[in-house]
Amino acid sequence: MDRTLVLSIEDDQSDIALMTYILKEIRPSVVTKFIRDGQSALSYLRHPNFKANPPKIILMDIKLPRISGLELLKKYRAEKDIPQVPVVMLSSSDRNDEIAQSYSNGANSYVPKPRDLNELREKLTVIMEYWLEVNKN
């Protein structure tokens, strides 16, 4: 079976555990790499391994240690020598200014992160279906 790589930049251990569980359930062929802070994520995005094997999608939280998701997104989109893959901001923030800044910094989508397991499953199912099957990039 072909393995699909998804990168999740998320610092909350509970969210990581839930996302891991749900993604294994709904998309067993997906391999999810988690990075827990913005600085480490930026280093990974600039690493030759990322260039050689970019993920199909990046799920990014706004509130990250070391470099915020908004700043990380801006830096990532400014990079010209690395693959530019779709970025879905998946954040518990519902601030209109952060949503607007996400899009102005180059986000492809913004999805509010639910706290309910079933709602998170529904949203991740839709995200994976759209970005891995429906959307052609």
Mean pLDDT of 15-40: 94
Listed residue (71, 67, 106) closest to 86, CA to CA? 106
> How high is the pLDDT of residue 130?
94
* H/E run at residue 9: strand 4-9
Query: In a 3-state reduction of DSSP, which class is residue 60?
Result: strand
Structurally, what CATH architecture does the domain formed by 4-134 represent? 3-Layer(aba) Sandwich (3.40)
Q: Hey, where are the domains in the chain?
A: 4-134
Mean pLDDT of 18-41: 94
**Rounded Cα distance, 15 and 17, in Å:** 5
> How high is the pLDDT of residue 94?
84
Asked whether the beta carbons of 36 and 10 are under 8 A apart, the reply is yes
For the whole model, what pTM was predicted? Answer: 0.93
Q: What is the pLDDT of residues 53-78, one digit of tens each?
A: 999 999 999 999 999 999 999 999 99
pLDDT of residue 26 exceeding 50, the answer is yes
